[in-house]
Amino acid sequence: MIAEVFTTLHGTVFQDDVNRCWTVDFAGKQASFNYRCLLKLREGVYRIDIEDKLLNHTTAPDVEIIFICACEHSYVLTLAEVIALRELLEGTFVMLQLNAIIQNALYRQAV
């Protein structure tokens, strides 16, 4: 069963229970990740210092490459896309935490 976890204007994250993976549909690319690689993607996005990139007026290009070790996917994103991907991943992990809290509360009431 595939369930939508979180959606923004720029992308969607789906949870695939059969294949035990998450599919990130973002920037015209669909990529499937196991939970460990999804965490690594989030870490890679969070490591980018957006404030510094916006305030630093050097001639550095407005492109970030996100390569995830032990995973076959990578992203080449503009700074605006990095912000959008960060928003998508933040929402996804909030929904996963909320689901865990609800499951925990239901399990406690059943026991």
Return averaged pLDDT per consecutive 10 residues of the chain, 111 residues in all.
95 96 95 94 94 78 86 91 97 94 82 61
> Which pLDDT belongs to residue 83?
96
In percent, how much of the chain has pLDDT > 90?
70
> Which pLDDT belongs to residue 69?
83
| DSSP calls for 21-78 | EEEEEETTEEEEE-HHHHHHHHHHHHTS-HHHHHH--SS--SEEEEE-TTSS-EEEEE
DSSP 8-state assignment for residue 14? E
